[in-house]
Amino acid sequence: MTPVPLRSIAASFAILVLSASGARADGTDADESAAVSTAPPLVITGYVDIGFAKAQGDGTSFPSSYRALPPPGPPDYFVDPFAPAVNSRGEAASTALPPGAAAGGFLPRSAGIGGRPSFLVNTADVDLRYTAPELPILIFTRLQVIPRLYDPATSQGVLGGEYTRLFLEQAFGRITPIKSAELAISLGKFDSVFGIEYLDNQANFRVGVTPSLLARYTTGQSTGVKVFYRYQLIPIDSAISLNVAATNSGTFVEALQGPSASLTGRPVGAARLGYELNLARVSLKLGASAAYGPRNDQSVTTAATQRLLGIDVRLVVPTLTIAGEYVDIEEEGGDELGAAPVPKLAGTGPYPEVAEFYAHGFWVQAAEELPLPLDPALFRLTLYARYEQRHADFPGYAGADIEVDRITAGLNLGLGESLQLKAEYLVNREVEGAPQVANNVFTSSAVWTW
Amino acid sequence: MAAVIALLCCAGGGRLARAAEAAPSPAAEPGWLGDDLPLPLAVKTPQDIGFKSAAERQYLIFNLMAGGKLAFDRGDYTGAAGKWETLLRMPGLDPQVAQAVQPLLEDARARAGRPAASADQQAGAPEKAPAPREQVSPTPRRTTVSGTVAGGGPAGPGGAVIWLKRLDEHGPRPTPAQNQIITQREKTFLPHVLAIPVGTSVQFRNDDRIYHNVFSIAKPNDFDAGIRATGATYVKTFSHPGVVQLLCNIHATMNAYVVAVDSPYYAKAQASGAFTIHNVPPGRYDLAAWHESASSVTHKTITVGPEGHRDLAVTVGGDKRPAPFVPDKYGHKRQPQLGY
């Protein structure tokens, strides 16, 4: 017979006494109906992101010299058109092309403010989250309105940005079939599983205002199925996780690979293997991601593939968060040897060529929440800085091999639970290949979450 | 009592004397004080079962009684009070034992800086236990305050926490409650709301087949229990009054509340909204009612007469929107739809 510590027996006596007065022997509530959560099954939340931004020059990365001497190919292959970002969506201040130039479909969405200081309604967002009371099912939709001035009388983006859009950013059902396991299966349109930057995609979750220069490859939503599984390793305070998805379009943002439908009939596979170390005051998360499948911007051919590899790290101590990510991208060209280029369909429209493309780069960000003598629930001030570098190459075009970097610094002021005020300055630099251009940006954002 | 005295004199007394003669260091635990149950007594007949049960009961009484005294003597007044409080909660305790222990318990509480227990927290005290010292002088009559909570929005009023604070004089400070447990089962905290007097220690127990964490960023009661396997426990003492939201750093959908009140007079409403607070002395009180769906605490002044106060109607708000974010243990926002 195994001896039982006396204190256990003593506690048992006390619990017997409590039982007589209404509490259950295990100490939990006898009134089960009042014991469980009273949270409503349907929760509707959302946010409004209002910004104010000013970009240098005309708000693009195209140099004025392109007006007189255009590059030997689509101008968006020779600069980084995503660099003068103004908001959390990664929209550029402008994507207005040099006169007479034709884009190659490597453009971000445009806010259409050019170099003019402007207020912007970046996003009005509504999230619906339904948790079935009796079943392990969650339904989630995220609907966004993006109001933009559109001037159809002029060429794309000269005065206006993209047209106003009603954007169903996510819509999926998630089932957790096994109560005793951290396993979730989602079906629908959902966030990427590649890397970590998708976790901060929304303005009300992002500490800064703008995404990194690599976000265009890793933070898109697509339609398909994904499976998440995590296993805890208690003895070493750790966990490993696997997030796997098979989707129509991979992980590029919708401006680059927009259609929710599969253009090739074959899915893109993506996965992230993660490791977490969770100590009392330190959390370290490491991940390795990969994606492979057909390019989903090829509207005629199906053979061109895309391949992404990435590693990521996050280190969190109570007030300091350091995060970084390295991504390597390879996209095969869609045109067959010796044949005419095949057309491409991106989120911003049709383009003449599925061009071969390579890129790699990294970003690293540090954010420190200042220890102010104020209630953090009411007032939080976070300073952050990010450095990033991106190298891109279109081998089919001489000179379209560029390297740029960016230094970003800003502050985030949290007022209460719902309001964030953010401001940052982006220093964009053309390190190699790309023509020098003044495309630094000051941008700010007030995000109200309701 | 005779059995206990016999145990003290025969089974332990001699050893106690020897132990005293040996003058062990204050922190040393004497060898004669038992710590394990059940006793290794053979059970061959039905009578043996009764005999063994009675012996173990006396053994338990002896060890709690004597263990408390040893703790008291070495200056561990909190430990002493804990053992004696457990002892006095045993059903059918011999009044002589209670009489012997009660004064020392009061002393231990005072030395430990803990307030004397109020009558409502001695609901499990032995039938014939003497009244605590504070009740020897004019004992105020204790009455019942009951009523119904309404409101709480679509979720209903269940889980509302109601407490009373004396307005016309200083009320007694609450004594920490014993054996408060919150379990984690099927990715849910049970109970969802736990009302406790301030200073109470709550045991968190993982009864799930998966790992969990418990943390709160509600200062000054914030804590982090770390990641815990099935069956693991963690004890947190809530030393400050306030509402403490509990979360799991692994599962963003889990949440619960501990409401630590600075009063011995409190209750949690049933699903119907009904509540009852026992042993309330007559007087004027501020009645406060908290509900997780209410954006503010409801306050109301009531007068409790000699016959108590029944049929109180309390309305709590249902206007608090679900939080848009679920924080992790560092206060960083999580997106609950991701599930991780």
- Provide mean pLDDT across the span A431-443: 96
pLDDT at res. B129:
35
Give the domain ranges of chain A. Answer: 1-31, 46-449
A292-342 pLDDT, tens digit per residue, is 999 999 988 888 999 999 999 999 998 899 999 999 999 999 866 556 778
Q: Do B86 and B67 fall into the same domain?
A: yes
User: Is the pLDDT assigned to residue B6 strictly greater than 60?
Assistant: no
Mutate which: A8, A16, A32, A36, vs B, most B CBs within 10 A = A36
For residue B42, pLDDT beyond 80: no
pLDDT at B211 over 80: yes
The CA distance from A270 to A289, in Å, is: 7
Same domain, B297 and B153: yes
B27 and B130 part of one domain: yes
**3-state helix vs strand vs coil in chain B, percent to 5:** 25, 30, 40
Contacts of B50 (CB under 8 A, 6+ apart): none
Greater model confidence, A338 or A108: A108
Give, as one character, the DSSP assignment of residue B305: B
Report pLDDT for A115: 93
Provide the pLDDT for residue A151: 64
d(CA A147, CA A161): 9
pLDDT average, residue stretch B70-83:
83
Q: Looking at the structure, tell me whether residues B34 and B83 fall in a common domain.
A: yes
In a domain, B213, yes or no: yes
Torsion of CA B88, B21, B27, B204, to 10 degrees: -30
Q: How many domains does chain B have?
A: 3
Note whether B126 and B28 are same-domain residues: yes
Among chain B residues, CA nearest to A419: B324
Give the mean model confidence (pLDDT) for residues A216-245.
94
**B95 and B33 within one domain:** yes
Verify whether the Cβ–Cβ distance B90 to A3 is below 8 Å. no
Task: Say what the pLDDT of residue A127 is.
Answer: 95
Looking at chain A, the whole-number percentage of residues with pLDDT higher than 70 is: 88
B338 inside domain: no
Q: Do B90 and A13 count as a contact with CB atoms less than 8 A apart? A: yes
* Interface touch A38/B188, C-beta < 8 Å: no
Instruction: Test A321 with B332 for CB contact under 8 angstroms.
Output: yes
Q: Does B92 touch chain A (CB under 8 A)?
A: no
Kind and range of the H or E element at B55?
helix B46-73
Cα nearest neighbour of B252 on chain A: A182
Query: Does A193 contact chain B (CB < 8 Å)?
Result: no
Q: pTM for this one?
A: 0.74
Contacting B residues, span 302-321, partner chain A, CB-CB under 8 Å: 321
- Whether chain A has a CB inside 8 Å of the CB on B127: the answer is no
Same domain? For B14 and B113 the reply is yes
A179 interaction partners in chain B (CB closer than 8 Å): 186-187, 209-210
Structure tokens at A150: 């559109």
Residue B339 lies in a domain: no
Contact B86 A241 (CB under 8 A): no
Chain B contact present for A417, CB below 8 A: yes
Average pLDDT over residues B261-285: 94
Cβ neighbours of A40 in B, within 8 Å: 153-155, 322
Same domain, B13 and B160: no
CATH number of the domain to which B230 belongs:
2.60.40.420
Looking at residue B48, its pLDDT comes to 65
Domain boundary among B209, B228, B262: B262
Query: Given CB atoms, is A316 within the 8 Å cutoff of chain B?
Result: yes
Q: Provide, as residue numbers in chain B, all residues whose Cβ is less than 8 Å from the Cβ of A239.
A: 227, 250
In 3D, which of B102, B101, B97 has the Cα closest to residue B117?
B102
Q: Which residue range(s) make up the domain with B207?
A: 175-262
> CB contact, 8 Å: A389 with chain B?
no
Confidence of residue B153 (pLDDT cuts 50, 70, 90): confident
The answer to whether residue B31 neighbours chain A at the CB level (below 8 Å) is no
B129, B157: one domain: no
Contacts of A103 (CB under 8 A, 6+ apart): A74, A75, A76, A95, A97, A156, A351
Protein fold of A46-449: Porin (2.40.160)
Asked if the structure places residue B69 within a domain, the reply is yes
Angle between helices B46-73 and A6-20 (to 10 degrees): 100
Say which of B86, B181, B330 has its CB closest to residue A28: B181
Last residue of a domain, one of B262, B292, B318: B262
Residues A12-34 have a mean pLDDT of: 37
Tens digits of residue pLDDT in A36-66 = 555 678 889 999 999 999 999 999 999 999 9
Interface of A with B in 38-67 (CB under 8 A): 38-40, 43, 45, 47
Distance between B48 CA and the closest CA of chain A, angstroms: 16
The answer, yes or no, to whether the previous bond of B176 is cis (omega within 30 of 0) is no
Cβ–Cβ below 8 Å for A34 and B191: yes
DSSP string, B230-265: TT-EEEEE--S-EEEEEE-SS-TT-EEEEEEESSS-
Find residues 252-281 of chain B whose CB sits inside 8 Å of chain A.
253, 255-256, 268-271
Q: Does B130 touch chain A (CB under 8 A)?
A: no
Residue among B227, B269, B324 whose CB faces A237 most closely: B227
Highest mean pLDDT: which range of A296-305, B2-11, B255-264, B318-327 = B255-264
Q: Which of A13, A131, A321 sits opposite B86 (nearest CB)?
A: A13
CB contact under 8 A, A45 and B191: no
Residue B317: which CATH number? 2.60.40.1120
- Residues B155 and B278 reside in one and the same domain: yes
Q: Which of B135, B153, B185 is the last residue of a domain?
A: B135
C-alpha of A40 from chain center: 28
What SS3 class is residue B285?
Answer: strand
* A13 — pLDDT class (breaks 50, 70, 90): very low
B332 with A27: Cβ contact below 8 A? no
- Whether residue B9 is predicted with pLDDT greater than 50 in this model: the reply is no
User: Per the CB < 8 Å rule, is B190 touching A36?
Assistant: yes
Cβ of residue A35 closer than 8 Å to a chain B Cβ: yes
Summarised one tens digit per residue, pLDDT across range A363-402 is: 999 999 998 888 777 889 999 999 999 999 999 999 999 9
Integer Cα distance of A443 and B107 in angstroms: 66
Same domain, residue pair B50 and B23 = yes
Minimal CA separation from A380 to chain B, in Å: 11
Distances, alpha carbon A87 to alpha carbons A49, A122, A355, A403, in Å: 9, 7, 28, 22
The C-alpha of A33 sits at a distance from chain B's nearest C-alpha, in angstroms, of 6
B188 and B47, same structural domain?
no
Which chain A residue lies closest to B120 (C-alpha atoms)? A21
Would you call B192 an interface residue with chain A, using a CB distance cutoff of 8 Å?
Answer: yes
Residues of A in contact with B211 (CB under 8 A): 232, 234
Q: Does A131 touch chain B (CB under 8 A)?
A: yes
A86-90, A411-415, B135-139, range with the lowest pLDDT: B135-139
Its ipTM equals 0.72
